[in-house]
Structure 1
Amino acid sequence: MRHDAGAAALDAPRAAQGYAGDVAPQLAWQWVQAGEAVLVDVRTDAERAWVGFVPGAVPAEWKQWPGMAPNPGFDDALRAAVPPGGKAVLLCRSGVRSVAAAKRAAELGITAYNILEGFEGDPDENAQRGRKGGWRFHGLPWRQG
């Protein structure tokens, strides 16, 4: 079972190892709207361009397309996005890469939360995303193009 199974019902952060915790997409959006957190999208530029993005989210690739090599500018991008003492909520495709990014953020002294389910959620029985959880599935703001 994935670490984020059943996450949609979370209305409070869930403890995690190596970073501040895991939050449901809805809670992350509440924090962003209230000015309590910065939304950082750690997906690749290609993913944001082709699949969609959250208006106002700070893009900071964890890995770069093609090849998925680590982004050497990630630390600087994250430090620039999150003010000292601030909180970040990190979004990737499915809530996996954002765990690694949250752990790195914690090493940098940033309070960082992984957004469970990610932007697209888990694949369904046809291996298609967007129908089983995720930012878009929950009707949160996003755009394509």
Structure 2
Amino acid sequence: MKHLLPKEAWAWLQAETARRAALGQEPPLFVDVRMEIESLYVGRPPGVENIPWYEYPDLTPDPARFAAAVAQEAGDKARPVLLICRSGKRTLDAGKALEAVGFKEVAHVVHGFEGELNDAFKRSSLNGWRFDGLPWEQM
């Protein structure tokens, strides 16, 4: 699994999308593994597919269900997958689950969408997708 800082992930996503378009291939699949409510209300990168690693009320990961949902969306396990979550932790386990079922190219966004907590227990103030000023949208 590749570990990409937010700006690296955005640059990789843009370059890989262009490269694959020139070859007539689908762009990388960009997956937000947060719960749907997190993705919608906190915000998310544009063009991301929400496939939760776990969901409320269980809050229990089901790696097989997750991998099957990503495989269905990807259509081909050779298609590159970029994962993002809140802080870059859920994506580590989610990426391992994808690699375990045969995905060839998996990357995740280090620090995720909101980043690490600062000394005042606030996110988006030290690092992360939103902190780095990358494109995002909110419901």
Q: Give the distance between the partners of 2:83 and 2:59, measured in 1 at CA.
A: 18
Residue 86 of structure 1: aligned partner: 79
Alignment of 1:1-145 (within 5 A): 20-34=1-15, 35=17, 37-71=28-62, 73-82=65-74, 83-110=76-103, 111-145=105-139
Please state whether the residue corresponding to 1:70 is helix, strand or coil. Answer: coil
Deviation at 1:67, TM superposition (A): 3.5
Q: Conserved in 2, the CA contact under 8 Å of 1:90 and 1:102? A: yes
Per-residue deviation at 1:39?
A: 1.2
1:30, CA displacement in angstroms?
1.6
Report deviation, 1:25.
1.1
Q: Could you tell me the percent identity over the aligned residues?
A: 34
- Using the alignment, how far apart are the partners of 1:85 and 1:67 within structure 2? 31
Question: Aligned pair count?
Answer: 126
SS in 2 for 1:63: coil
- One-letter code of the match for 2:111? E
Secondary structure of the equivalent of 2:3? strand
Q: Deviations over 1:66-101 (max 9, x none)?
A: 341225641222112333312111100000000000
**5+ unaligned residues in a row in structure 1: which ranges?**
1-19
> Which is worse superposed, 108-117 or 93-102?
108-117
User: Structure 1 length as normaliser, TM-score?
Assistant: 0.80
| Structure 2: distance between partners of 1:131 and 1:65 | 27
TM-score scaled by structure 2? 0.83
SS at match of 2:12: helix
